[in-house]
Chain A
Amino acid sequence: MFVRDYMTRNPVTVMPGVAIPVVRGLLSDKGFRHVPVVNEEGRLLGVVTDRDIRSAYPSLLIPETESRVQLERMAQTPVEAIMSKNVVSLHCNATLDDALLLIDKKKVGAVPVIDENGRVIGVFSIRDLMRAYSQLFGLAEKGSVLIVLRNSDQPDILSRILQALESHGIVCTRIVRPVGSLYIYLRVQTFNLRAVHTLLREAGFEPVVGAEIGQEA
C-alpha cells in the first residue's frame, strides 16, 4: 500500500547548473518525462518536465537566424531557470491513496519521493499508480473470476460470504463492497463457477449473472 513499493528507486536527477540541452538529451535517451533537480546533498529543488524543455526551445516558425541566436543563448542557460519550483513531493511513508489524491489534485504526471531528510529517493508516476492498483485489485490475474452478489444491509454479510467460500476450499483474493452499492464483488481463484454459485446460493446469497451485471446504474 506504500508508494515506496512501486516507485522507481534511485532515479536519475540533475544539478541546477546543468545546461538545458543536456537535460533534453537525458530525457530523450532514457524515455523519461520528468527529472528532479537536486542540490549537492540530494535535496529536492525542483522538477523539469519534457514540456518545460520544449517551451524553452525556439519556435519552429521563427526565422533561422533568430532561432540560432536563441539556441545559443539557451545552451548557456542552466536548467534551474526553467524548472518548476515549489513542487509537490511524496514522503517515503506515503500510501498509494496519498499519491492518487495528490496526482489527481495537482494534475501532475509524476512526483518525487523524498526521505526523512528531504533527499530524493524515488519518482512515483501515474503509470506506477496504475500498476499498483491493478495489482491490488487482481486485474489480469490469470485463473480468477469475478463473482457479483446482491448487497444487503446484514451486518455480517462479508464474513458469511468468506466463510461459505473458505469452508469449501475456494480461495477468495478480493472482496469489494462499495458504500451504497447494490452489489458486492468477489474475485475467486477457480473455474468452477457453477460450484461457487451453488454454494453461495445455499448460504443464502444471490449471485448476479449475465446481462443483469451491466444493469447496475
Chain B
Amino acid sequence: MPDFKTITIVNSPFYMKHDTGAEHPESPERMTAVMNRLLRNDPEVRMVKLPVELLSPRIAAREDVVALHKENYLMRFEEACLAGKEWLGHSDNRISYDSYEAAFLSAGAGLSAIDFLEDGSKNPIFCCVRPPGHHAEAALALGFCFLNNVAIAARYWQRRYGRKKIFILDFDAHHGNGIQELFDEDPDVFYVSIHEHPTFSFPGTGWANENGTGAGQGFTLNIPLSPGAKDEAVLKAMEEQVKPAFDAFQPDAMVVAAGFDGHALDDMSGLAYSTKLYGKLGSYLSVWAENCDNRLVSILEGGYHLEALAAGVEAYLIGLAIRV
C-alpha cells in the first residue's frame, strides 16, 4: 500500500452561491464533483484511501486584493452584484448577488493556505475554489474570472512573510493573461504557463515570444502547445523548459494555477491530456517543492468536464501526496 501525506483541502460551501445560471460551464457542480470525489473514499471506486483534512478559507482582506486590483474595479464589481446585474464586462462573466463575496472568499483560500503552511504544515494543500482567477486583470473581469486568486496569493506571500521569489506554474489549458499582466515587469515573480496555442485558443495571449518586460524580462515563460497536444508535449516542456527555469530561479515559494480543462474529454479546449498527466505533474511538483521547504500552494482554475475535473484533481493530489 502506498503511503500518503495528509492533503489539506481549502473549500467552502459558500462557493456554490456564485450562481452562473443555467448551462454555464463554470458551474457550482464543479465544486460538488471534486469534493465528492475527494471525500467519498468509496473502496469500490478507489484502491487506496486518501487522507484528507478540510480547512475553511477566510475572506481576503481588502488590502491584499487592492495590492493587485484597482479600487474602482472592485466597486463596480460589488455594485453589479448587489444591483442584480447578470454579468460583469462580458456576458461570459455571469454574476449573482453573492458573487462578490464568493470571489473574496475564493481569493482568501490561497491566503489561508499560505498561513497554514507558514504555521508549520509540510503537507500538500489544494484550494478547491470558484470563481477561478487567472484571466482577471487589475481592472478587468475575463473568462469567468473576477479576482486573480493566484496573483493575490503570490503577492501576499511576499508581503506578509517576506518570501521574495515566487514561482508560478499555470497548467490550465488557457493562458493566464491576468497573472502575466500583473507580474509582467516583476523579476521576483516567475510566471510559467503551458497552454493551447493563442492562435486557436482563448484568450489569444501567451505567445512564446512574450517573456516579460523591463526588469521582468526573462521572468515569464510561455509554452504554447498545438491543438490536440497530448501528455508527452507537457512532460517534454516540463523537463526541457520548466525545470531549468525553476532551477535557475531558485524560488522561495511556489503557487500553482491548477486547471484541468486540457483533458481530452473537456470541450473547452482542443488539448488532449489524459488524467495520468495530472498525477505526473503532481509528482514533479512534490519533488521540486522540497527545494523551497514545501512552500507550495495549488489553486483550482478551470476544468469543465465534471468527471475529468474530479479525476484530474484526484490524480494531481495523489501525485503531490504520495511518499516515495
Contacts and interface: CB of A to CB of B under 8 A. Distances in A.
A144 B202 contact: yes
B228 A212 contact: yes
Interface in A176-214: 189-195, 197, 209-214
Nearest to B271: A210
Nearest to B227: A213
Interface in A106-165: 138-146, 148
A143 B25 contact: no
Contacts of B199: 146
Contact of A143 (B142, B200, B228, B267): B142
Interface residues of B, number: 32
| Main SS at interface, chain B | loop
Interface stretch (B73-81, B121-129, B203-211, B247-255): B203-211
Given A140-B207, A141-B204, A142-B205, A195 B23 contact: yes
B244 to A, nearest CB: 27
A197 B227 contact: no
A31 interface: no
A25 interface: no
Contacts of A209: 227, 267, 270
A169 interface: yes
B202 A193 contact: yes
Given A143-B143, A143-B203, A145-B202, A193 B267 contact: yes
Interface string B208-223: 0000000000000000
A169 B268 CA distance: 19
A138 B227 CA distance: 19
Interface residues of A, number: 25
Contact of A210 (B23, B135, B207, B228): B228
Contacts of A140: 198, 204-205, 207
A192 B204 CA distance: 14
B68 to A, nearest CB: 18
Contacts of A139: 204
Contacts of B177: 142
Contacts of A191: 92, 135, 142-144, 174, 202-203, 268
B304 A194 contact: yes
A146 to B, nearest CB: 5
A181 to B, nearest CB: 16
Residue from A192, A195, A214 having most chain B Cβ neighbours under 10 A: A192
Contacts of A194: 25, 267-268, 304
Contacts of B205: 140, 142
**Best-buried of A140, A148, A212 by chain B (most CB within 10 Å):** A140
Nearest to B269: A193
Given A189-B90, A191-B144, A194-B25, A214 B228 contact: yes
Contacts of A210: 227-228, 270-272
Given A193-B267, A194-B25, A211-B228, A144 B272 contact: no
Contact of A211 (B91, B198, B267, B272): B272
B201 interface: yes
Nearest to A140: B204
A214 B227 contact: yes
A210 B199 CA distance: 13
A209 B201 CA distance: 11
Q: Which among A144, A193, A213 has the highest number of chain B CB atoms within 10 Å? A: A193
Contacts of A195: 23, 25
Contacts of B203: 142-145, 191
Contact of B227 (A142, A169, A190, A211): A211
B226 A197 contact: no
B21 to A, nearest CB: 12
A197 B267 contact: yes
B279 to A, nearest CB: 22
A191 to B, nearest CB: 4
21 contacts: A139-B204, A140-B198, A142-B142, A142-B177, A143-B142, A145-B200, A145-B202, A146-B200, A146-B201, A191-B92, A192-B24, A194-B267, A194-B268, A197-B267, A209-B267, A210-B228, A211-B226, A211-B227, A211-B229, A212-B228, A213-B270
Given A140-B198, A195-B23, 20 more contacts: A140-B207, A143-B90, A143-B202, A143-B203, A145-B201, A148-B200, A190-B91, A190-B202, A191-B142, A191-B174, A191-B203, A193-B269, A194-B267, A210-B227, A210-B272, A211-B272, A213-B200, A213-B227, A213-B228, A214-B227
Query: Closest 5 interchain pairs by CB?
Result: A211-B228, A191-B143, A145-B202, A210-B228, A210-B270
